[in-house]
Amino acid sequence: MITTDHTHLVRGFPFPFPADQYRYSTNVEPAEKAVLTAAGQWGRAVVDIDAEYHRELAEREEILRADPSRHAVLPHMRTAAWDAMLHLMRELALARPDAMSLVREDGGSWRWRNQLLGVDRRFVLGDESTLPCEPLRYIAGQVQEDIVLLDQRADALWADAGVVTFAADWSFAFDVGMSFLEIHGPVPRIRAEGVITRAHEFLKRLQPGETYRRTNWTMTVGRRLDVSTERYPEWGPDRETVRRVDDDTFGRLVHLRVEVQHLIRLPESGAVMFLIRTYMLPLEALAAVEEWRSRTAAVLSELPADMADYKGIAKYRDRAAAWLAAREPGTAG
């Protein structure tokens, strides 16, 4: 049986594997359509507010206090930051109309309420003095998603603004100002197979207000959202030490980590907003869903070595595959 602590995670988990084999692909689809899974559903809204909301926002604040470089807005992206803030406020209000609202008042000011955080704020669009901080930083404190804003110029996309605290083995501070193609250069296979070029062209063709999504995955040791390269000395050794733990501990520590990535062309600035929401499920909970257990074991067993190495799971993916294959159907331990 799934433990009580994991039930809410399992029900909303975006299981990423439609087949027993995984290869890189654009795998883009229209957003805001619920996806039924073997254990529940996900994907109804662009922003997802779940039981982890307060805990994850508190972790984001702690990370930003310790490392302000996780937040950057280049000067030419200020309009896009306001555009992103307003768009995300609308999405939050759609997702939780019982607790959040955005209203335009007489005189042109706006009123934003977020009862989950005790927020009631009047602001003037474009006037940073009416907010407690820069607009992208402000709204990042109220969504669980990481945010990257891509500027389109010279027939390319550039990562010129964002708030990223839950990166999976990359550094937002390093990537700020780089092009989309440069950022994805280290990923194996995607250039030779044309995946990154197709993705780049798709993003450039996005129309204002269009919203698409895709999933990506890796694995993480421990329930650690921040596995950025800046903190590699803290989490990197886990990939080796987890190989030496007993089976029960292995199942508790190793997590399947899935990103739901939303791609949105903002209507006013024309920037592309890239939202990254991270979900993690330990193998002990994953194994309780038979379809997920058998498929994940198959994917890990077949995954090419260069892809496993890039995802950082080469040292323990064979054990993870064997661990899942050895579980009895419907059990978690």
DSSP 176-219: TT-BHHHHTTTSSSTTTTTHHHHHHHHHHHPPTT-EEEEEEEEE
Q: How many helices (H) and strands (E) does the chain have?
A: 14, 12
Phi, psi dihedral angles at 263 (to 5 degrees): -120, 115
Instruction: Sort 294 into a burial class: Cβ within 10 Å, 0-12 / 13-18 / 19+.
Output: middle
In whole angstroms, how large is the CA radius of gyration of the chain? 20
Active site residues: 214
Report, in this order, helix, strand and coil percent for the chain, each rounded to 5.
40, 25, 40
Q: Which tokens is 205 given?
A: 């063709």
Residue 189 carries which side chain, given as an amino acid letter? R
Locus of tokens 């969504």: 143
